[in-house]
Amino acid sequence: MAEVVEKVYEQVVARNRGETEFHQAVREVLDSLAPVIAKHPHYAEGALLERIVEPERQVIFRIPWVDDAGNVQVNRGFRIEFNSALGPYKGGLRFHPSVNAGIIKFLGFEQIFKNALTNQAIGGGKGGSDFDPHGRSDAEVMRFCQSFMTELSRHIGPSTDVPAGDIGVGGREIGFLFGQYKRLRNSYDAGVLTGKGLAWGGSLVRTEATGYGTVLFAQSMLATRGQSLEGKRVAVSGSGNVAIYAIEKAQQLGATPITFSDSSGYVVDEAGVDLDLLKQVKEVERGRVADYVSRRPGARLVTEGRVWDVPVDVALPCATQNELDGSSAATLLRGGCAVVAEGANMPSTPEAIEAFQAAGILYAPGKAANAGGVATSALEMEQNAGRTRWSFETAEAKLTAIMADIHDSCVAAAEEYGRPGDYVLGANAAGFTRVADVMIAHGVV
């Protein structure tokens, strides 16, 4: 069966040249599927693997807009509608200069299995643009978002494709995007976008969900060894939405997060992160981590090295893909790290994952650990469909139950295929079989 998997991977590389992140994501999933296919050979029939690695639809489009100086700017937009076997395409929009077709494909491919793990009838997709919102005025961001949605609107809908936020796309951007969609379609389809404001269809806990879910998953992993987060030192990378709320939930569970970062460096706060100050700097002022240090006695800014140089018990990579490499993994392990739960999408390189698994520590891939964000997006869609809104407590209870179910599904699948405790195999096998069974039921489409 390894030969079957290898052939599919070679076809992916040949057909998607230069898209290294996409290759990496496919490689990780396919490597996990050899024992699944060996036990259930029908999954290799009907070109099922070849179909699941090929997007159902890829949309690439031009985005012209006018900056504050009156100059016309041109960016490129993407929407990769990867797999709709389980439901409408669901996945975020990323606005960042690094965005290209390969990045969006990798994110969309990961989204297939992540969404399947939530058991909420949503397919996998992803989108975005190489536009950088940092340093742009609100008016410039609005004009860009309106131009972006002018094209995207013809490809999305509550029962077709439901985008959300991601890096560079927060509440401000979602608001501008929804306003333009409503204007173009002459329809108040609240369920067409998630991550909306509470006053116009948003869900409580959606802002916190990805970070909260990552920490809840880490807590579930620790429970398998009779431990908890109580008293643990935690390293968090990033300082955006995922990182901030991972820090918040870790503090609620008795841990001490001591780091966060942005592109200018990382902060070490041995006394524990002052969450109110961090939220003020990042969410209100849109500032840099140096602004936190300037107001926080005892905190220090480190501009050399990596956040993973700090000895901790738990590591939560919450920034971006491939931020934690083999060298950083070795440093974490030497520092006593025993748990890694990914808040970002594919933040650990293959070498880092290999090191974590060889060391026998608890390691959870992003498609399982950070699925709380999309899970709560689906809960937002459910509330929109019923024209209702749940309390914070109700939404958080549902998120907690979903994360526990994802954890248990990963554990069960890893045991079924002979690798107890392997959350990579467990997540990929559980997600894949849910999608594959439905693809088979739907025929060759």
Which residues are documented as binding site for NAD(+)? 210, 241
**Which is the catalytic residue, given 7, 39, 105, 126?**
126
- The answer to whether 398 is a known catalytic residue is no
Strands 57-66 and 89-95: unpaired
The token pair at 299 is 């905190």
Among 98, 87, 85, residue whose Cα is nearest residue 121 = 87
**Counting every residue, how long is the chain?**
445
Rounded Cα distance, 266 and 82, in Å: 35
Phi-psi region for residue 66, left (φ > 0), alpha (ψ -120 to 50) or beta?
Answer: beta
Contact 368, 406 (CB under 8 A): yes
Contact 325, 205 (CB under 8 A): no
3-state SS, residue 140: helix
Contact 86, 115 (CB under 8 A): yes
Please measure the distance between the N-terminal and C-terminal CA atoms of the chain and give it in whole angstroms: 24
Contact 253, 230 (CB under 8 A): yes
Among 2, 28, 26, 23, residue whose Cα is nearest residue 13 = 23
3-state SS, residue 161: strand
Burial degree of 139 (CB within 10 A; 0-12, 13-18, 19+): exposed
Among 112, 148, 127, residue whose Cα is nearest residue 79 = 127
Partners of residue 76 on adjacent β-strands: 62
Q: In what order do the strands lie in the sheet with 256-257?
A: 256-257, 233-236, 314-316, 339-341, 362-364
Rounded Cα distance, 116 and 85, in Å: 10
Q: Which residues belong to the active site?
A: 126
